[in-house]
Structure 1
Amino acid sequence: MLNLNYTYRIYPDAKQVEFLDEWLETCRGVYNYALRELKDWIASRKCPIDRCSLESEYIMRADYPFPGYQQQQNNLPKAKKNFPKLKAVPSQVLQTTIRRLHDAWDFFRNRGYGFPRFKKYGQIKSILFPQFKVNPITGWQIKLPKLGKVQINLHRPLPDSASGSDVGASGFVIKQVWVIKKAVGWFALISIQSDILIPDAVPHGHFIGVDVGLNSYLATSDGFVEPGRKFFKDMHRRLLVLQRRLSKKQKRSKNYEKARRKVERLHNHIAFKRKDYQYKLAHKLCDMAETIFLEDIDFRTMAKGFLGKHTVDAGFGQFRDILYYVGKQRGVYIAEVDHKGTSQTCPNCRIEVRKELSDRWHSCPECKYHLDRDIASAQEICNRGYEQLSTQGLWGKEIGCQVGLSGALSLDKWRRAAMSNSDVGSLHHNL
């Protein structure tokens, strides 16, 4: 099953914008009401039965069931009788709002933290239309339930089967549409699905390792270095001016809302620039090689350090996801390797060469291998990728398929890598 997402700009008229804003606020009320019911059920059962709580709690009877997704979804028709405002919103949009809450609840239960929070005014910025019986796109318009036809900028055509009226067994069909509100306008994220099965890419062609960092955005094992880009820092001065003006406005006033939109619009501009740059860089890497190796770094941990602001600005995690997406579309194999010690290992003789963060040049005392630190780290990542693919858990045992699968490493290098550090040094000098 193949799923693809296409994002387009839409242009609703004034009446449709009014409807969409009302729907967003209605969905926010439904989300908060369902969350309140969930928290009340938890609070009524958090204290032992043989003592009273020191806090006042909403009392529910003992046989009251847990307010799960099915129960809260079934309560929506009853709620529409008491709150006629809910009838204006498509029923499936309200159901997906409840679904989003319980997805957050399940996510909290699995990882143990991140309890769902109440949504403030304006915090819900998207609604989902999960099902379409017929193709909603007609020309330069998209037809949405209870909203009518909305102008859409189809700057990139959908696959023929998705945009046509007849859909074959292996063609694309439109499954759902997200309508997203941003500071610059409204967007429609269209999800299409097909029964076409695309096999996963296999290691082939030219191999490279990629090392990311703050000094240079990335470096490859071939010697390519992409200079660092600081999207947030470049616009920080302008952002400070807008935020200072916003802080002096009276909250909820018209001038406050105008100033807030300017701040939000600038944040959107920064995010758009970063994503556009990362997509172009991902395509550039896919042009360089058919097999790419990355480090399995948890960038959330890096963001907690003293360079956390710059790490978040770089968006390495988003870039890795984009690279996987682009690689899958272009048939490029992308894998992750162990990141521990990649910058402290010589890629030539594989011994440990300790370096501080300020040391930007790699100089091996054993094999006299000298080059830029980031490129050396990328070469070590590539070496580990070779080992991961060719040995299959048999590293250190010289077998015939090791050299053949790698396609690039020489037999001498495989022998040196399997020896101890002292043997490697003596072998190098004997040669």
Structure 2
Amino acid sequence: MLNLTYSYRIYPRLDQEAQMLAWLEQCRRVYNYALAERKDWINSRKCSVNACSIKQEYIIPADAPYPDYYKQQNALTLAKEGNLKLKAVHSQVLQDALKRLDKSFKFMQERGFGFPRFKKFGQYRSFVFPQLKSNPVNGFEIKLPKIGAMPINLHRPIPEGFEVKQVRVVLKPSGWYTQLILQANVSVPDVMPHGEPIGIDLGLEKFLALSTGELVERPRFFGDLHSKLRWLQRKLRNKKKGSANYRKLQAKIRALHEHIYNIRREFHFLTAHKLCDGAGMIFAEDLNLKMTSRGMLAKHCLDAAWGSFLEILKWTAWKRGVYFAKVDPNGTSQTCPNCGTHTGKKELSVRVHNCGECGYVTDRDVAAAQVVMKRGIVTVGQTVILPVEEGYLGTPMKQENSSVKKGSQHRTR
């Protein structure tokens, strides 16, 4: 089963836009009420039986069951009987708000952190139709249940053989969008290792260093527009909260953040396609991205968005038939790619790799990318001789492991 998600711009009428905004607000209230219900139940079980907190305590009967998704769904059905605003919203749209909260709690339990937060006004920006009786797209119109038909910008056609299973409506600063979740009953084979291998090393001075010696500059997406964002936020601080000018400045700030996101995402896609043009295998470091988002370089690491780029590269490589895998990142900048000698820890100011054993000299990031490529090739069990004309010493790689991990690169979208 193959899943794809296509996003299109939609143009609702004023009455349809008002209706969708009302739906978002009702979904937000249902989400917050269900979250408060779960939070109160959890807090009522925190204190000891023989001791209570000095300030306050939640008192919920001991036999009260935990308000899971099914109990809250049944309670929502009863609440809709006396609430006309809830009744006006599509039933499955409200149920999806409870599903979203349930997924957040399950995700928190898996990670061990990240307790779900309450949604402020305007923070709930999408709702989903999880089931559709028929194809909602007819020509250049899309018909949504209980909302009606509206124009849609089909900038690319829906692929043949795919069926629209779900529709998500998203409100962005630039307007309304719909995400069509397409599904086809096909089986896509896994991409096997083949062709020319390359290794990549992500950094801040250079966004990307390739094992071929090529360096890709890092655009300062957020840094270039930071002064404008700071100027708008300074103006917002002097406005009366909730006034018309306050809301106008908020809209400008949201539009600027979306612009930064768009140019960053476009750069990531263009870079990913360029890497796939001349390679059959791409290897990258399996970075701990949580640690890179801390410290004095956190803003620059988040601006580069390495995690987003690796996900885009993985998807692009799978779509274009290029093998992609991650390798162990430990010691890539402390190992000589030519002789394998451990050269010791380098300071960030040292930008040249100079091996004292074999005399191999190259850029520090390029050397790390070559080590990444060597580890990747050893993982897939191949032997490759690197050409001298591309900046290598032509040392053959040892074949240490002939096991190929099958089934790990399948991707549904």
With the length of structure 1 as denominator, give the TM-score of the two structures.
0.88
The one-letter amino acid of 2:365's match is D
Which among 246, 256, 262 is matched to residue 236 of structure 2? 246
The 1-side partners of 2:228 and 2:377 are apart by 46
In the alignment of these two chains, the number of paired residues is 394
Partner of 2:136: 136
Specify the SS of the correspondent of 1:273: helix
Partner of 2:98: 98
Structure 1 residue 83: Cα displacement: 1.8
The one-letter amino acid of 2:385's match is A
The one-letter amino acid of 2:105's match is W
Partner of 1:204: 194
Partner of 1:408: 385
Say yes or no: does 1:36 pair with 2:36: yes
Q: Which has the higher contact order (CA 8 A, sep 6+)?
A: 2
Specify the SS of the correspondent of 1:47: coil
The one-letter amino acid of 2:97's match is T
Structure 1 residue 417: Cα displacement: 10
The 1-side partners of 2:132 and 2:234 are apart by 46
Partner of 2:366: 375
Specify the SS of the correspondent of 2:362: strand
Which among 317, 324, 330 is matched to residue 327 of structure 1? 317
Of the structure 1 ranges 109-118 and 49-58, higher mean CA displacement relative to structure 2 is found in 49-58
Partner of 1:299: 289
The 1-side partners of 2:130 and 2:65 are apart by 28
For the Cα contact (< 8 Å) 1:363–1:369, is it kept in 2?
yes
Partner of 2:377: 386
Partner of 2:112: 112
Of the structure 1 ranges 109-118 and 149-158, higher mean CA displacement relative to structure 2 is found in 109-118
Structure 1 residue 159: Cα displacement: 0.6
For the Cα contact (< 8 Å) 1:130–1:176, is it kept in 2?
yes
The 2-side partners of 1:190 and 1:416 are apart by 45
The 2-side partners of 1:417 and 1:23 are apart by 58
For the Cα contact (< 8 Å) 2:35–2:118, is it kept in 1?
yes
Of the structure 1 ranges 222-231 and 406-415, higher mean CA displacement relative to structure 2 is found in 406-415
The one-letter amino acid of 1:95's match is Q
The 1-side partners of 2:322 and 2:400 are apart by 27
For the Cα contact (< 8 Å) 1:349–1:417, is it kept in 2?
no
Structure 1 segments, 4+ long, off by >4 Å, are 409-412, 414-418
Structure 1 residue 408: Cα displacement: 3.4
- Structure 1 alignment gaps of length 5 or more: 161-170, 391-404, 419-431
Partner of 1:363: 354
Which among 171, 180, 184 is matched to residue 190 of structure 1? 180
Q: Given the superposition, is the C-alpha separation of residues 252 and 102 from structure 1 closer, same or farther in structure 2, using an over 3 Å criterion?
A: same
Of the structure 1 ranges 102-111 and 408-417, higher mean CA displacement relative to structure 2 is found in 408-417
Radius of gyration: which is bigger? 1
The one-letter amino acid of 1:406's match is T
The 1-side partners of 2:76 and 2:305 are apart by 40
The 1-side partners of 2:73 and 2:288 are apart by 37
Structure 1 residue 7: Cα displacement: 0.9
Provide Cα deviations, 1:344-380, integer angstroms capped at 9, x if missing partner.
1110011122321111111111111111111111111
Hey, which of these two has a bigger chunk of helix by percent?
Answer: 1
With the length of structure 2 as denominator, give the TM-score of the two structures.
0.92
Q: Percent identity?
A: 49
Structure 1 residue 49: Cα displacement: 3.0
